[in-house]
Amino acid sequence: MKKSSLLAKFLISYILVLLLPTIIILVYYYPYSAKIAKDKEMEWNAHVTEQFMTSMDIFTSYVYDLPSELLQNRDIKMYSAAENDYQRIVIANEMRKYNATDAFIDNTLLYVKSIGYLFAKTGSVYNVDDFARRGVGYYYENWPHEEMFDQLDRLDLPAVRPAEDVIVPGNNRLRMLTFLLPLPLGGENSPGAVLILVKEETVIRMMKSVSESYSGDFFIFDENGNRLVASDADSYGDSGEVQALVSRLGKSGQGSGIHEIGGQDVIVSYNVSDKNGWQYVSLLPVSDSLESIRTIQRNTVVLVLLILLAEGIVIYVSIRKNYHPIKRLVGLALDVFEPQEPKRMNEIDTIQHALDRLSTANSKLDESVRRTLPIMRDNLLFELASGHFEDWETFQREAAEYGVTIGGPLVTAAVIAFERDGADAGGVTEYCRMAEERLPEGIDGYFFKSIYKQETIFICSHAADFPIKAYLEEFQRELAARNGIHSLVGIGAPESSVRPEGVHLSYLQAVRTAEHLRIRKQYTILAFDEIEVSQAGTVSYFAELLQSLEMAILKNDVSVVESVMDRIIDYFGSDGMPHHMVRTVYLNTISVVINGLQRFRHDDGSLIMLTDAAFQKRYTIEQMAGIMRESCGKLCDIIRLTLPSSGSASQEDILAVIDQKGMDHDFSLQTMADHFGMSLSGFSYHFKKTMGQNFKEYIDRLRIQKSIQLLRGTGDTLDSVAQQVGYSNTSSFIRSFKKIVGTTPGQYRDTHRQA
């Protein structure tokens, strides 16, 4: 009984240990997971609503712009349509041109008051009475015929009728959203209005196209809170709850939240269009959005219970088999640390034997650590060179263990760079250790590896009169004679040893000197003070060259690209330029060329390989110049292949088109490019190259010259002159005239009259 009672206690304690964190996790996970799911659904709901609003803004913007577009059609003359039957035919034919302009619009009807006719974009023509007969015109069941045309005759502001049943020609019933738009001409005496009919199902398809997986409902209300369209009008009934909610949301601002509608929680997203003031609302029941997470939670509970049951069985079986833990520990010690001569031992002796073996393993580990002391010493010295120590006391506390001391009045650092093949041959480390042991009097120095495989760093403290360069020259010669390894030695300037930062400063100078040697290949050993300083003004000169190269590439001017690249390479190889400027010139130039290549070849494998090779480190000047010349040649070849043929549009052809169409208000660079079958950018470049100035400047000057003739030779108004020379509005004409002539058209005419 006692044994069973103890087993039960063990079992209960183990299960409690397992159960406690599980319960804590579940208590946290359940509400938190539901909150995350709600937040994500609200974010997604708001995103879908905003996307739908953006799509509707795009399509409705064309609807509101259509009356102005119709008025700009010079062939539609509504004031003369009452007296001219031919003009009615012209209007009907012109309306056909708008038949394929927008799939969003089902039909566009131009209503001309003076004749009582409506012209459809399908080419059909209806009179006012046709709209009172089912199957002939568009018959609105809830909009009386007399009220309809009375509203159209008095229409002075845009209006939208909510989706409603309409009997369309052919006697089919459709639900239509109707836009009523006055023509922006004549004010209260406008010649007519425009009716634009949009199928409700078109708007609903647009709603669903935003997200195929979205299961909520969309509503559109106008700026006054009237419902225009609903994806499912019966979902929330006509109780007015949605209408009241929209009214409240209009006061609090757009966003997402959870509200109660019809006795259930609903995720509501609300946006207001800044284009037309329409209000967009999407409703998604919380229960639908959380159904998947609820299923996961239920499955998780079942899974946790099964795991707890399985764990209880495993724990019970384990306790039964491991009832004496100390014996299991002894057995483990025997298995891991078995004596060389097996003999019978009690539990204490067995554990003592295991501890002895652990002590032996620890001793072997200490020996292994001692073998790593040279590596640790090198790391410490590199930290000193890198400026990681602020004072000598901190450094000496760590360096004492490795026998490193810095005691002279001056400190100097040198970087010894080996040829790749020579460094790989070996023997450098051994020779440096030997050199440390036989340093001359008056110097304490240490050789250690750099972070680069082909470099060794030398740090020393010495007296002011010690010939450090002569010593390193001798070291360089002996290394070459003994090991056949050739090297470049860059020496920093001697610095004061008052603070460790003197070592860091000298090391930075040594790195710069070694890089100078590696690039120039003029000497094998050099001190920092011996580097020639470049002349002032080189940076600004290179900046001008680089800007010229970028402009030439953008203009696709091959000859200028090649010329500027030759100048950069000549400047790049000039004597006296410091190594950091050499690398800066190279990197900036090659970046500009590769960006130019990227414009033409986005996923070219050879371009990727060129980019990878171009930015590798430690090229010589000759290699850098070769890379720049080769990549520039590749770019110029590509530009030549892509440039349009100059014979496709001669100067005579261009002038002929300008003479014919240059004074039309819709004449543009795109018109010219389409005429000659060229791209917009290609023709722009070709025009400037052929005519000597860009397209807009040329056309503006031509039009202003023509306007000067009209101002001096006629009494036409400024509006008339602007229209005759191709300006769509008078203000644009006045701005261009003043920019080119220096005075306004009116001032010019007054001055000419006085003269």
Q: Residues 100-135: pLDDT tens digits?
A: 556 789 899 998 888 888 999 888 889 988 898 998
Using CA atoms, how far residue 112 sits from 79, 143, 145, in Å, is 9, 20, 16
Do the domains at 373-530 and 646-754 have one common CATH topology? no
Q: What is the pLDDT of residue 318?
A: 67
Q: What is the pLDDT of residue 703?
A: 93
The answer to whether the CB of 657 falls within 8 A of the CB of 695 is no
Q: What is the pLDDT of residue 412?
A: 94
Q: What is the pLDDT of residue 552?
A: 80
Between residues 85 and 352, which one has the greater pLDDT?
A: 85
Read off φ and ψ for residue 278, nearest 5 degrees. -65, 150
- Candidate from 59-63, 402-406, 533-537, 575-579 with smallest mean pLDDT: 533-537
Q: How is domain 73-203 classified at the CATH fold level? A: Beta-Lactamase (3.30.450)
Tokens of 624: 């850098």
The residue with tokens 């901190």 is: 394
- Candidate from 55-69, 351-365, 573-587, 658-672 with smallest mean pLDDT: 351-365
- pLDDT at residue 297 is higher than 80: no
Q: In what order do the strands lie in the sheet with 117-120?
A: 125-127, 117-120, 107-112, 192-199, 172-182, 159-168, 139-140
- pLDDT at residue 369 is higher than 70: no
Domain boundaries, the chain: 73-203, 325-370, 373-530, 538-642, 646-754
Between residues 222 and 422, which one has the greater pLDDT?
A: 222
Round to whole Å and give the CA distance between 339 and 323: 26
Antiparallel, parallel or unpaired: β 139-140 and 125-127: unpaired
Q: What is the pLDDT of residue 423?
A: 44
Antiparallel, parallel or unpaired: β 487-491 and 525-527: parallel
Antiparallel, parallel or unpaired: β 172-182 and 159-168: antiparallel
The DSSP output letter for 125 is: E
Per-residue confidence at 420, pLDDT binned at 50, 70, 90?
A: low
Round to whole Å and give the CA distance between 654 and 659: 9
CATH class belonging to 646-754:
mainly alpha
Tokens of 615: 């930015």
Tokens of 611: 């980019």
Tokens of 488: 């470049």
Sign, CA dihedral 641-642-643-644, equals positive
What residues does 449 pair with on adjacent strands? 456
Between residues 27 and 380, which one has the greater pLDDT?
A: 380
Per-residue confidence at 535, pLDDT binned at 50, 70, 90?
A: very low
Closest to 718 (Cα-Cα) out of 709, 707, 726? 707
The answer to whether the CB of 571 falls within 8 A of the CB of 539 is no
What residues does 164 pair with on adjacent strands? 176
The answer to whether the CB of 196 falls within 8 A of the CB of 34 is no
**What share of residues in the chain are helix, strand, coil (percent, to 5)?**
60, 15, 25
In CATH terms, is domain 373-530 a member of 3.30.70.270?
A: yes
pTM: 0.40
Tokens of 625: 């110049």
